[in-house]
Amino acid sequence: MTASILALSLLFSAAGMASASPTGDKIASTAKSYVGKVKYRWGVRDPRHLIFDCSSFTQFIYQRNGVHIGWGANAQTKYGKSVYSKSKLQKGDLVMLSTSRPGKIGHVGIYVGNGKFVHAIQSGSVVSDLYSGYWKNRFVKGTHVK
């Protein structure tokens, strides 16, 4: 059985498919559990009342899983390994997005698999698609937090 699991693991790695770590799965699950429960306010981090901006939300989710990262989308890029292809993202990775100039990081969320990410925006905490709508061409990079 162990050999079969190892073989499958190598097969998927060789095919270039990213697989989430147990911590990544937990982070993604925690992020999804807050969808629809968070209020957005720029520049605010208020865990008691679940009021966050985008980066304080990601910071809060990571902290709930015992991982400490800074506040601010640009600051959070420094806490792990950069991932420049959407197809290489793993569950739990930070997703850095452009909201103004192309290539300039202005927003952050948490990748939860299947091209989706959870983030805090004006309407609260939501799930969005990296491959369609507003966010389709706004991916700058991901960060696989160590």
Give bridge partners of residue 70 from the DSSP assignment: none
Q: How far apart are CA 97 and CA 68, in angstroms?
A: 21
Residue ranges of E strands in the chain: 39-40, 45-46, 51-52, 80-83, 94-98, 105-113, 116-121, 124-129, 139-145
54 catalytic per annotation: yes
Residue 70's SS3 state is: coil
Single-letter residue type at 63: Q
* Residue whose C-alpha is closest to residue 137's, from 110, 112, 101: 101
* Residue whose C-alpha is closest to residue 115's, from 99, 140, 132: 132
Q: How far apart are CA 77 and CA 79, in angstroms?
A: 6
Catalytic residue among 49, 54, 68, 144: 54
Catalytic residue among 49, 68, 119, 144: 119
Catalytic residues: 54, 107, 119
